[in-house]
């Protein structure tokens, strides 16, 4: 995954995470951020990445990205079966 956009959101534009009852775990949602784009407004779900994924999972993703060859590092003759 890559970051496609970073936005600053004023604290005044962040609302608490909604309560969906007891059947849904929302502990990983930090809040709901409102962002204006000209005349329109978008609502962004702000996630607590440490609660969405464990440190072990984040480490495994980081390690797998380091172990995966990039297209530039693969030589054409190494693709032959």
pLDDT in tens, 29-43: 889 999 888 899 889
Give me the mean pLDDT over the 61-80 stretch. 65
pTM of the model as a whole: 0.53
Distance, in Å, from the CA atom of 18 to the CA atom of 46, rounded to the nearest integer, reads 12
What's the pLDDT at 40? 92
Q: What is each CA distance from 18 to 26, 44, 58, in whole angstroms?
A: 8, 13, 26
Report how far apart the first and last C-alpha atoms of the chain are (Å, whole number).
29
pLDDT, mean over the chain: 78
Q: What percent of the chain has pLDDT over 70?
A: 80
pLDDT band of residue 17 (cuts 50, 70, 90) is confident
């Amino acid at each position: 995954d890559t970051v496609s956009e970073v936005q600053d959101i004023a604290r005044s534009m962040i609302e608490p995470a909604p309560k969906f009852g007891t059947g849904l775990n929302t502990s990983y949602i930090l809040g709901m951020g409102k962002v204006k784009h000209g005349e329109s407004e978008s609502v962004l779900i702000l996630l607590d990445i440490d609660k969405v994924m464990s440190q072990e999972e984040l480490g495994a993703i980081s390690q797998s990205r380091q172990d995966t060859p990039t297209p530039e590092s693969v030589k054409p003759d190494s693709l032959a079966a």
